[in-house]
Amino acid sequence: MKSSNNIKDLIEKAQILKNQENFQQALEILDELYKSYPNSEEIKSALIKTLFDYGGYLNDYYTLGYEKAKQIFKRITKLSPNNYRAFYNIGIACFNLGQLEMAMIHLKKALKIKPDYKYCLYNLGLVYEDMEKYEDALKFYEKALKIDPNFIYALTARSEMRRKLDRLKYLD
């Protein structure tokens, strides 16, 4: 059995590895600790934080690790079933992969947990826009703006969507 100082040292070592973007090594340490101490909130929290950081790193436009990011975020939902950010990030990974229906499902799961999550509402608008469901997209941009009237992404998207809808009406 490891002493609490040893556990803290291992968590700290994992943190250092994570900060150096050695995510796999950090996760190996934390996974081993979590197996030994599944009831430790400190270990679970460090594991989830590292998974989020790794998933975010993979879900980046420059890394293009969307499929792996999806799996990482799904691990978080197993550790923390009401983690709206994990469902949101699965939705973003699906969107990045062009899996629009799956993106919508996961973004809506995030909204069930946190209905006022403006980034999720905005990104649902983007999904609908990609599906060419422009009226629905506009509704989600407006919902995001009800939460934060100065949300620049939603302001810009709503403005562009209104222009697009006006052009489409004009062409009819």
Q: What is the pLDDT of residue 172?
A: 64
**Per-residue confidence in pLDDT tens, the chain, 172 aa:** 567 789 999 999 999 999 999 999 999 999 999 999 999 999 999 999 999 999 999 988 777 899 999 999 999 999 999 999 999 999 999 999 999 999 999 999 999 999 999 999 999 999 999 999 999 999 999 999 999 999 999 999 999 999 999 998 887 6
pTM: 0.91
Q: What is the pLDDT of residue 157?
A: 97
Give the separation between CA 158 and CA 166, rounded to whole angstroms.
12
Q: In one letter, which amino acid is 8?
A: K
Q: What is the pLDDT of residue 118?
A: 98
Both tokens of residue 8? Answer: 């803290």
What are the two backbone dihedrals, phi and then psi, of residue 39, each rounded to the nearest 5 degrees?
A: -95, 0
Domains of the chain, each with CATH number or no CATH: 116-172 (1.25.40.10)
Q: What is the pLDDT of residue 1?
A: 54
Q: What is the pLDDT of residue 140?
A: 98
Q: What is the pLDDT of residue 160?
A: 96
Cβ of 138: how many Cβ atoms within 10 Å? 20
Give the rounded distance of the alpha carbon of 53 from its chain centre.
Answer: 10
